[in-house]
Structure 1
Amino acid sequence: MTLTVLAPVAGVVHALADVDDPVFAQEIVGPGLAVQPDAESGAGRSVVAPVAGTVAKLHPHAFVLLAEGGRGVLVHLGINTVQLGGEGFTLHVAEGDAVEQGQILVEWDPAAVEAGGRSAICPVVGLEAQPDSLTRLAEPGTRVVAGDPLLSLA
Protein backbone atom coordinates (compact mmCIF):
# COMPACT_ATOMS: atom_id res chain seq x y z
CA MET A 1 0.00 0.00 0.00
CA THR A 2 1.37 3.41 -0.98
CA LEU A 3 1.61 6.04 1.75
CA THR A 4 1.11 9.65 0.63
CA VAL A 5 3.08 12.09 2.77
CA LEU A 6 1.98 15.74 2.87
CA ALA A 7 4.18 18.80 3.31
CA PRO A 8 4.15 19.58 7.05
CA VAL A 9 4.99 23.26 6.47
CA ALA A 10 4.72 25.85 3.71
CA GLY A 11 7.89 26.70 1.82
CA VAL A 12 10.24 25.58 -0.95
CA VAL A 13 11.02 21.89 -1.49
CA HIS A 14 14.66 20.73 -1.37
CA ALA A 15 16.42 17.41 -1.82
CA LEU A 16 17.64 15.87 1.44
CA ALA A 17 21.17 16.09 0.03
CA ASP A 18 20.84 19.90 0.38
CA VAL A 19 20.27 19.69 4.16
CA ASP A 20 23.27 20.85 6.20
CA ASP A 21 23.26 17.77 8.43
CA PRO A 22 24.99 14.53 7.34
CA VAL A 23 22.41 12.26 9.00
CA PHE A 24 19.69 13.70 6.75
CA ALA A 25 21.82 14.54 3.70
CA GLN A 26 23.16 10.97 3.49
CA GLU A 27 19.67 9.51 4.14
CA ILE A 28 21.00 7.54 7.11
CA VAL A 29 17.56 7.37 8.78
CA GLY A 30 15.70 7.07 5.49
CA PRO A 31 14.81 8.79 2.22
CA GLY A 32 12.72 11.94 1.98
CA LEU A 33 12.59 15.57 1.02
CA ALA A 34 12.96 18.80 2.96
CA VAL A 35 10.95 22.03 3.01
CA GLN A 36 12.58 25.42 3.62
CA PRO A 37 9.95 27.60 5.29
CA ASP A 38 9.65 31.15 4.01
CA ALA A 39 10.50 32.66 7.38
CA GLU A 40 10.05 36.25 6.26
CA SER A 41 6.39 35.86 5.32
CA GLY A 42 5.44 33.92 8.41
CA ALA A 43 4.71 30.86 6.27
CA GLY A 44 5.60 27.59 7.91
CA ARG A 45 4.48 28.58 11.43
CA SER A 46 1.82 25.85 11.58
CA VAL A 47 3.15 22.31 11.27
CA VAL A 48 0.59 19.74 10.11
CA ALA A 49 0.58 15.96 10.28
CA PRO A 50 2.02 14.63 7.01
CA VAL A 51 0.19 11.32 7.52
CA ALA A 52 -2.67 10.01 9.64
CA GLY A 53 -1.49 7.84 12.48
CA THR A 54 -0.21 7.79 16.03
CA VAL A 55 2.31 10.20 17.55
CA ALA A 56 5.08 7.70 18.37
CA LYS A 57 7.69 10.25 19.48
CA LEU A 58 7.27 13.93 20.21
CA HIS A 59 9.85 16.60 20.95
CA PRO A 60 9.25 20.32 20.43
CA HIS A 61 11.65 20.30 17.44
CA ALA A 62 10.77 16.89 15.94
CA PHE A 63 8.16 14.15 15.85
CA VAL A 64 7.57 10.67 14.47
CA LEU A 65 4.15 9.53 13.30
CA LEU A 66 3.37 5.86 12.80
CA ALA A 67 0.98 5.41 9.91
CA GLU A 68 -1.26 2.43 9.25
CA GLY A 69 0.92 -0.61 8.73
CA GLY A 70 3.55 0.70 11.14
CA ARG A 71 5.50 2.89 8.73
CA GLY A 72 7.17 5.83 10.46
CA VAL A 73 7.52 9.38 9.16
CA LEU A 74 9.93 11.76 10.87
CA VAL A 75 9.56 15.54 10.66
CA HIS A 76 12.46 17.59 12.03
CA LEU A 77 11.82 21.34 12.48
CA GLY A 78 15.10 22.99 11.62
CA ILE A 79 18.67 21.83 12.15
CA ASN A 80 20.26 21.86 15.63
CA THR A 81 16.95 23.11 17.06
CA VAL A 82 17.19 20.58 19.91
CA GLN A 83 19.58 23.18 21.39
CA LEU A 84 16.60 25.54 21.87
CA GLY A 85 15.23 23.31 24.64
CA GLY A 86 11.69 23.66 23.31
CA GLU A 87 11.65 27.46 23.43
CA GLY A 88 9.58 28.90 20.59
CA PHE A 89 7.62 25.68 19.92
CA THR A 90 3.97 25.13 20.93
CA LEU A 91 2.81 21.51 20.93
CA HIS A 92 -0.85 20.73 20.19
CA VAL A 93 -0.62 16.94 20.63
CA ALA A 94 1.01 14.43 22.97
CA GLU A 95 2.79 11.11 22.43
CA GLY A 96 0.24 8.38 21.85
CA ASP A 97 -2.37 10.69 20.31
CA ALA A 98 -4.11 9.60 17.12
CA VAL A 99 -3.90 12.35 14.51
CA GLU A 100 -5.52 13.03 11.16
CA GLN A 101 -3.54 13.95 8.08
CA GLY A 102 -3.38 17.75 7.89
CA GLN A 103 -4.07 18.31 11.62
CA ILE A 104 -1.95 21.05 13.24
CA LEU A 105 0.57 19.40 15.57
CA VAL A 106 3.08 22.15 16.37
CA GLU A 107 3.44 25.90 15.93
CA TRP A 108 6.86 27.54 15.75
CA ASP A 109 8.68 30.57 14.38
CA PRO A 110 11.13 29.71 11.59
CA ALA A 111 12.29 33.35 11.47
CA ALA A 112 13.33 33.18 15.15
CA VAL A 113 15.19 29.91 14.48
CA GLU A 114 17.10 31.58 11.63
CA ALA A 115 17.70 34.72 13.69
CA GLY A 116 19.40 32.46 16.23
CA GLY A 117 21.85 31.27 13.59
CA ARG A 118 20.20 27.92 12.82
CA SER A 119 18.67 26.58 9.63
CA ALA A 120 14.87 26.32 9.65
CA ILE A 121 14.81 23.68 6.89
CA CYS A 122 12.47 20.78 7.71
CA PRO A 123 13.51 17.27 6.67
CA VAL A 124 10.59 14.87 6.11
CA VAL A 125 11.85 11.28 6.18
CA GLY A 126 10.36 7.85 5.65
CA LEU A 127 12.02 6.00 8.53
CA GLU A 128 13.77 2.79 7.53
CA ALA A 129 12.28 3.05 4.03
CA GLN A 130 14.26 1.97 0.99
CA PRO A 131 15.45 4.83 -1.25
CA ASP A 132 13.68 3.31 -4.28
CA SER A 133 10.36 3.27 -2.38
CA LEU A 134 10.13 7.08 -2.52
CA THR A 135 8.32 8.97 -5.26
CA ARG A 136 8.55 12.76 -5.31
CA LEU A 137 5.12 14.38 -5.60
CA ALA A 138 6.70 17.86 -5.37
CA GLU A 139 10.02 18.54 -7.09
CA PRO A 140 12.90 20.43 -5.47
CA GLY A 141 12.56 24.15 -6.16
CA THR A 142 8.77 24.14 -6.12
CA ARG A 143 6.74 25.95 -3.48
CA VAL A 144 4.25 24.02 -1.34
CA VAL A 145 1.73 24.97 1.31
CA ALA A 146 1.21 22.85 4.40
CA GLY A 147 -0.96 19.90 3.39
CA ASP A 148 0.19 19.70 -0.25
CA PRO A 149 1.32 16.25 -1.41
CA LEU A 150 5.10 16.04 -0.92
CA LEU A 151 6.11 12.42 -1.51
CA SER A 152 4.84 8.87 -1.46
CA LEU A 153 6.35 5.72 -0.05
CA ALA A 154 5.64 2.36 -1.68
Structure 2
Amino acid sequence: MTSVTSPLAGRAIALADVPDPVFSGAMVGPGTAIDPERVASEAVSPVDGIVVSLHPHAFVVVDSEGHGVLTHLGIDTVQLNGEGFELLINKGDTVSRGQAIVRWDPAAVEAQGKSPICPVVALEATADSLGDLVEDGDVKAGDSLFSWR
Protein backbone atom coordinates (compact mmCIF):
# COMPACT_ATOMS: atom_id res chain seq x y z
CA MET A 1 0.00 0.00 0.00
CA THR A 2 1.21 3.49 -0.86
CA SER A 3 0.62 6.46 1.40
CA VAL A 4 0.30 9.69 -0.57
CA THR A 5 1.04 12.89 1.32
CA SER A 6 0.30 16.51 0.59
CA PRO A 7 2.80 18.31 -1.64
CA LEU A 8 1.65 21.68 -0.25
CA ALA A 9 0.19 23.44 2.74
CA GLY A 10 -3.37 24.65 2.33
CA ARG A 11 -6.93 23.39 2.50
CA ALA A 12 -7.95 20.02 1.11
CA ILE A 13 -10.94 20.03 -1.25
CA ALA A 14 -12.72 17.28 -3.14
CA LEU A 15 -11.49 16.62 -6.67
CA ALA A 16 -15.10 17.09 -7.80
CA ASP A 17 -14.80 20.76 -6.69
CA VAL A 18 -11.76 21.51 -8.87
CA PRO A 19 -12.64 24.17 -11.50
CA ASP A 20 -11.58 21.98 -14.43
CA PRO A 21 -13.75 19.21 -15.94
CA VAL A 22 -10.79 16.92 -16.66
CA PHE A 23 -9.87 16.83 -12.97
CA SER A 24 -13.34 17.20 -11.44
CA GLY A 25 -14.59 14.35 -13.60
CA ALA A 26 -11.65 12.19 -12.47
CA MET A 27 -10.72 11.61 -16.12
CA VAL A 28 -7.03 11.61 -15.18
CA GLY A 29 -7.67 9.49 -12.09
CA PRO A 30 -9.08 9.71 -8.57
CA GLY A 31 -7.53 11.75 -5.80
CA THR A 32 -8.00 15.02 -4.00
CA ALA A 33 -6.89 18.63 -4.34
CA ILE A 34 -5.24 21.34 -2.29
CA ASP A 35 -6.24 25.00 -2.26
CA PRO A 36 -2.75 26.25 -1.36
CA GLU A 37 -1.72 29.00 1.02
CA ARG A 38 -1.14 32.17 -1.00
CA VAL A 39 2.58 32.40 -0.27
CA ALA A 40 5.63 31.54 -2.35
CA SER A 41 6.50 27.98 -1.46
CA GLU A 42 7.95 24.71 -2.64
CA ALA A 43 5.80 21.85 -3.88
CA VAL A 44 7.26 18.63 -2.51
CA SER A 45 7.10 15.00 -3.57
CA PRO A 46 4.02 13.15 -2.24
CA VAL A 47 5.84 9.77 -2.36
CA ASP A 48 9.33 8.27 -2.54
CA GLY A 49 10.08 7.47 -6.16
CA ILE A 50 11.35 8.53 -9.56
CA VAL A 51 10.27 11.73 -11.33
CA VAL A 52 8.96 10.43 -14.67
CA SER A 53 7.36 13.66 -15.85
CA LEU A 54 8.43 17.18 -14.97
CA HIS A 55 7.02 20.50 -16.16
CA PRO A 56 7.04 23.85 -14.40
CA HIS A 57 3.31 23.47 -13.62
CA ALA A 58 3.10 19.70 -12.97
CA PHE A 59 5.07 16.61 -12.06
CA VAL A 60 4.58 12.85 -11.75
CA VAL A 61 6.47 10.67 -9.26
CA VAL A 62 6.24 6.88 -9.59
CA ASP A 63 6.89 4.84 -6.46
CA SER A 64 8.52 1.40 -6.14
CA GLU A 65 5.12 -0.28 -6.57
CA GLY A 66 4.56 1.46 -9.91
CA HIS A 67 2.00 3.93 -8.57
CA GLY A 68 2.22 7.27 -10.40
CA VAL A 69 1.10 10.37 -8.51
CA LEU A 70 0.42 13.57 -10.45
CA THR A 71 0.74 16.93 -8.71
CA HIS A 72 -0.69 19.72 -10.89
CA LEU A 73 0.18 23.23 -9.67
CA GLY A 74 -2.90 25.30 -10.44
CA ILE A 75 -5.45 25.05 -13.25
CA ASP A 76 -4.58 26.12 -16.82
CA THR A 77 -1.11 27.07 -15.55
CA VAL A 78 0.48 25.47 -18.62
CA GLN A 79 -0.59 28.72 -20.32
CA LEU A 80 1.93 30.62 -18.14
CA ASN A 81 4.78 28.92 -20.05
CA GLY A 82 6.76 28.31 -16.87
CA GLU A 83 6.66 31.94 -15.73
CA GLY A 84 6.68 32.07 -11.94
CA PHE A 85 7.78 28.43 -11.55
CA GLU A 86 11.30 27.21 -10.76
CA LEU A 87 12.27 23.55 -11.21
CA LEU A 88 14.44 22.34 -8.34
CA ILE A 89 15.22 18.83 -9.63
CA ASN A 90 15.46 17.02 -12.98
CA LYS A 91 13.29 14.48 -14.76
CA GLY A 92 14.60 11.02 -13.92
CA ASP A 93 15.77 12.01 -10.44
CA THR A 94 15.02 9.73 -7.52
CA VAL A 95 13.27 11.76 -4.82
CA SER A 96 12.16 11.23 -1.25
CA ARG A 97 8.75 12.10 0.12
CA GLY A 98 8.86 15.74 1.17
CA GLN A 99 11.72 16.67 -1.15
CA ALA A 100 11.21 20.01 -2.93
CA ILE A 101 10.38 19.65 -6.65
CA VAL A 102 9.10 23.07 -7.82
CA ARG A 103 9.18 26.54 -6.26
CA TRP A 104 6.14 28.66 -7.14
CA ASP A 105 3.85 31.43 -5.91
CA PRO A 106 0.11 30.59 -5.81
CA ALA A 107 -0.75 34.29 -5.28
CA ALA A 108 1.10 35.23 -8.49
CA VAL A 109 -0.76 32.46 -10.36
CA GLU A 110 -4.06 33.83 -9.06
CA ALA A 111 -3.04 37.39 -10.00
CA GLN A 112 -2.67 36.18 -13.59
CA GLY A 113 -6.26 34.96 -13.62
CA LYS A 114 -5.57 31.24 -13.05
CA SER A 115 -6.83 29.05 -10.23
CA PRO A 116 -4.03 28.03 -7.86
CA ILE A 117 -5.91 24.85 -6.81
CA CYS A 118 -3.64 21.80 -7.06
CA PRO A 119 -5.05 18.38 -7.94
CA VAL A 120 -3.14 15.42 -6.49
CA VAL A 121 -4.14 12.43 -8.60
CA ALA A 122 -3.52 8.68 -8.50
CA LEU A 123 -2.82 7.92 -12.17
CA GLU A 124 -4.38 4.81 -13.70
CA ALA A 125 -6.13 4.03 -10.41
CA THR A 126 -9.74 3.21 -9.68
CA ALA A 127 -11.68 5.21 -7.11
CA ASP A 128 -12.16 2.10 -4.95
CA SER A 129 -8.39 1.54 -4.75
CA LEU A 130 -8.00 4.71 -2.65
CA GLY A 131 -8.72 4.88 1.06
CA ASP A 132 -8.61 7.46 3.85
CA LEU A 133 -9.20 10.22 1.29
CA VAL A 134 -8.83 13.73 2.76
CA GLU A 135 -11.25 16.13 1.02
CA ASP A 136 -11.64 18.91 3.55
CA GLY A 137 -9.75 20.69 6.29
CA ASP A 138 -6.34 22.27 6.61
CA VAL A 139 -3.28 20.27 5.66
CA LYS A 140 0.44 20.83 5.93
CA ALA A 141 2.97 19.57 3.40
CA GLY A 142 3.62 15.95 4.34
CA ASP A 143 0.19 15.29 5.87
CA SER A 144 -1.54 12.16 4.57
CA LEU A 145 -4.00 12.72 1.68
CA PHE A 146 -4.91 9.12 0.80
CA SER A 147 -3.73 5.54 0.80
CA TRP A 148 -3.51 3.57 -2.44
CA ARG A 149 -4.07 -0.18 -2.33
Give aligned pairs, total. Answer: 149
With normalisation by structure 1, the TM-score equals: 0.94
Q: 1:59 aligns with which of 52, 55, 58?
A: 55
- SS of 2:3's equivalent? strand
Residue 115 of structure 2 aligns with an amino acid whose one-letter code is S
Q: CA deviation at 1:137?
A: 4.7
Q: Does 1:113 align with 2:109?
A: yes
- SS of 1:125's equivalent? strand
Could you tell me how far apart the structure 2 residues matched to 1:135 and 1:22 are? 23
Q: Percent same amino acid among aligned pairs? A: 55
Q: Over residues 76-122 of structure 1, what are the superposed CA-to-partner deviations in whole Å (9 max), with x where a residue is unaligned?
A: 00000000100111111111000001101111000000011110000
Q: 1:68 aligns with which of 64, 72, 78?
A: 64
Q: Does 1:124 align with 2:120?
A: yes
Q: Does 1:83 align with 2:76?
A: no
Q: CA deviation at 1:149?
A: 0.9
With normalisation by structure 2, the TM-score equals: 0.97
Q: Where do 1:1-154 residues align within 5 Å?
A: 2-39=1-38, 42=39, 45-138=41-134, 140-154=135-149
Post-superposition, which runs of at least 4 consecutive aligned residues in structure 1 deviate over 3 A?
A: none
Q: CA deviation at 1:136?
A: 2.8
- Ranges in structure 1 where 5+ consecutive residues have no aligned partner: none
Contact 2:85 / 2:104 at 8 angstroms: preserved in 1? yes
Could you tell me how far apart the structure 2 residues matched to 1:71 and 1:38 are? 27
Indicate the RMSD between aligned Cα atoms, in angstroms. Answer: 1.0
- SS of 1:75's equivalent? strand
Could you tell me how far apart the structure 1 residues matched to 2:113 and 2:7 are? 22
